[in-house]
Amino acid sequence: MPHAAPAELPASITRRARAGRTAMQARRGASSGRDANPLHVPYITRGIPTHDLLSDEALDGIIATADRILAEIGIEFREDPETVRLFQQAGGKARDLGDDRWNLTFEPGLIRGLLATAPAEFTQHARNPARSVRIGGRSMVFAPAYGSPFVMDLDKGRRYGTIEDFRNLVKLAQSSPWLHHSGGTICEPTDVPVNKRHLDMVHAHIRYSDRAFLGSITAPERAEDSIEMCRILFGADFVDRNCVIMGNFNSTSPLVWDGVSTRGIRAYAAANQGSIHLPFLLGGAVSPLTMPGAIAQCLAESMVGCALTQLVRPGAPAILGSFLSSMSLRTGSPTFGTPEPALGSLVMGQIARRLNMPLRCAGNFSTSKLPDAQAMTQSMMSMMSAVNCGANFILHSAGFLDGLLSMSYEKMMLDMDLCGALHAWLRGLEVNEDTLAFEALAEKGPGEHLFGCAHTLRHYQTAYWDSALDDNDTHETWSEAGGVDAMTRANRAWKETLATYEAPPLDPAIDGALCDFIARRKAAMPDAWY
Residue list 372-411, contact with a second copy (CB under 8 A): 372-381, 384, 388, 402-406
Q: Is 223 or 418 the residue whose CB approaches a second copy more closely?
A: 418
Kindly state whether residue 329 participates in binding a second copy, applying the rule CB under 8 A.
yes
- Looking at residue 192, its amino acid is V
Residue 250: CB minimum distance to a second copy, A:
6
Query: Quick one: which of 250, 345, 397, 497 contacts a second copy (CB under 8 A)?
Result: 250
Which lies closer to a second copy via its Cβ, residue 128 or residue 374? Answer: 374
Lay out the sheet containing 157-160: strands in order across.
157-160, 150-153, 406-408, 400-401
Q: Name the segment binding a second copy (CB under 8 A); options: 199-207, 229-237, 332-340, 518-526.
A: 332-340
Instruction: Give the Cα separation of 492 and 486 in Å (integer).
Output: 10
> Taking CB under 8 A as the criterion, which residues in 481-500 touch a second copy?
483, 485-487, 490
Q: How far is CA 65 from CA 52, 186, 293, 455, 522, in A?
A: 20, 35, 8, 55, 47
Decide if residue 285 touches a second copy (CB under 8 A).
yes
Q: Name residues contacting a second copy, limited to 24-83 (CB under 8 A).
A: 24-25, 28, 48-49, 51-54, 58, 61-62, 65, 68-69, 72-76
Residue 291 in contact with a second copy, rule: CB under 8 A: yes
At residue 271, φ and ψ (nearest 5 deg) are -85, 10
Among 30, 36, 130, 429, which residue interacts with a second copy (rule: CB under 8 A)? 429
Instruction: Work out how close the CB of 461 gets to a second copy at its nearest, in angstroms, rounded to a whole number.
Output: 6
Binding string, 105-144, against a second copy, x = CB under 8 A? ----------------------------------------
Query: Measured between alpha carbons, how far is residue 285 from residues 129, 262, 279, 372 in Å?
Result: 43, 23, 13, 28
* Segment 137 to 196, residues that bind a second copy, using CB under 8 A: 146-150, 158, 160, 185, 188, 190
Is residue 5 part of the contact set for a second copy (CB under 8 A)?
yes
Phi/psi for 155 (5° steps) reads -80, -45
User: Which one of 241, 428, 454, 480 is in contact with a second copy (CB under 8 A)?
Assistant: 428
Q: List the one residue from 455, 492, 495, 522 that touches a second copy (CB under 8 A).
A: 455
Binding flag, residue 446, a second copy (CB under 8 A): yes
Count of residues interacting with a second copy (CB under 8 A): 160
Q: Is the Cβ of residue 125 or residue 263 nearer to a second copy in the bound state? A: 263
Find the part of the chain contacting a second copy (CB under 8 A) among 129-137, 254-262, 305-313, 504-512. 254-262
H helices present in 235-337, as ranges: 236-241, 259-270, 291-312
Site string for a second copy, 307-326 (x = CB under 8 A): ----------------x--x
CB burial class (10 A; 0-12, 13-18, 19+) of residue 457? middle
Stretch of residues binding a second copy (CB under 8 A), selected from 9-17, 136-144, 204-212, 263-271: 9-17
Residues 6+ apart with CB under 8 A from 410: 153, 154, 371, 487, 490, 491, 494
Contacts of 302 (CB under 8 A, 6+ apart): 251, 277, 278, 279, 320, 321, 322
Q: How far is the CB of 372 from a second copy (least distance, A)?
A: 4
Determine if the peptide bond prior to 254 is cis (ω within 30°): yes
The CA distance from 72 to 105, in Å, is 7
> If you write DSSP's letter for every residue of 419-478 in order, what string do you get?
HHHHHHHHH----SHHHH-HHHHHHH-TT---TTSHHHHHHTTTSS---SS---S-HHHH
Identity of the residue numbered 151: V
